[in-house]
Structure 1
Amino acid sequence: MRAAAVGDSRASPAITVGLLSPPTSRPARGDGGARGAGETTAKERHPAVQKRSEAVAHADILRAMTTEQQPSDRAQQAPVTATLQIAAKDNALERRLDDELTAFNAEATGAGAPAPLSVRVTDAAGELVGGLTAWVWGSCCAVDMLWVRADQRHAGWGSKLLTAAEEEAARRGCTEMIVSSFTFQAPDFYRGHGYRETGRTDGIPGGHQDVHFHKVLKIVAR
């Protein structure tokens, strides 16, 4: 996850918990999952920012199909004269690839475009206590990022955020959840919430692994 999962014992500030679905945002391309050390911290490039979830990385792999992988089309196509450029961040390129691959996947699966899902917790002063972002595609919901503020990481907010996301996903018709967590983050947190390990990816810095999880959700009567 990109999450800071936490325990339950410490006192918590007055808060509001809200489910948000930003009208213009696309499913986050972060780590499709919640991550945190034990039940304490999230996968962090920076203390408060986590890397992309492996669950989303898996989705991106699916989205990376091209016409060159389709023999019947490849034989009919000739390469155009073009220039190849290598750069850093390219917002325009990301938007175009996202649009193109979303359209391709929607046509191939009939599941339509992914829809964003987010959960936010704020204290009485309006400061962020923690949050979760995810995306819903067909019957699947993938947790992208989950983070809890350091002074509240043992106050139960990780569990509350994850449970709220699962309930909203089920309300939207999802039957499964997927998430990933680095071995130095919170794999045990997800196991404790009924997630089953489905695999691991080596090569994470420091000799760590990315642990992938799956959970079947209870069907919500409509």
Structure 2
Amino acid sequence: MSLQIPEKLSHVRKLIDQAKFNEALEIIENFENSESLSPEDQLSALLIKARIYTYTREYEKNVEVSSRAYEISQELGRASESVEALIGKAYIIFIDDLDKASTYVTEAERLLKSLPDDFSTDVLRRRLLSIKSWILLFKGNINGATESAQQCLKLIKEDKLSNKLELTATFLILGWINWNQGNQTKALDYAMKSLKHNIELNHDVAIAADYTLIARIYLGKGDYDQALQYCKQSLAIKGITSRT
């Protein structure tokens, strides 16, 4: 059974689903600074922050916060939260530590098997499949990456409460997988699906990531004008977000 979210943070989940990350972080940080928190409340706040940093692609912050959350979850004997923290720590793959990322995912999978099936474990399973697909892709295991990503997509579509952020993240990894396979048409289809939802969410960081993939696809097709256009759009967004 997962920890109950503190009442003062109940609105944060909705803000995250709407990609209003700065507002969500402000509420969490005010919560952390305004009162003496129990270890359980500290853990809840850290895990929510880690999730935000996943979506904003601030991976060093994600790993740091997830590491602190893992220590607290272990002290409290919270298996579900330990799994969530390990998933956050696995994003160290984007800081060039594939071996550690693989170790964290293996441990998360082991712990997840010990938990009863319910809504919270379904969410953890999707998140685990998502980062696992990236790790397998980085290892060059295209078939394994495809299987994990497709399974993640299936679980997301089966859950009516899942959010667009999960969906777009899965479309993006499927786009990169197909790009690596040379399936440019499928890669572009997934990238455009991700882009459509991210534009609806006004999720600038994810839009920039979509543009980067689309630029790569057009480059592979030999359409250099389109590739340059999307590359410039990606760089423009990254320039804006790095200053905010």
State the TM-score, normalizing by the size of structure 1: 0.30
Judging by fraction of residues, say which structure has more helix: 2
Q: Whose RCO is larger (CA < 8 A, sep 6+)?
A: 1
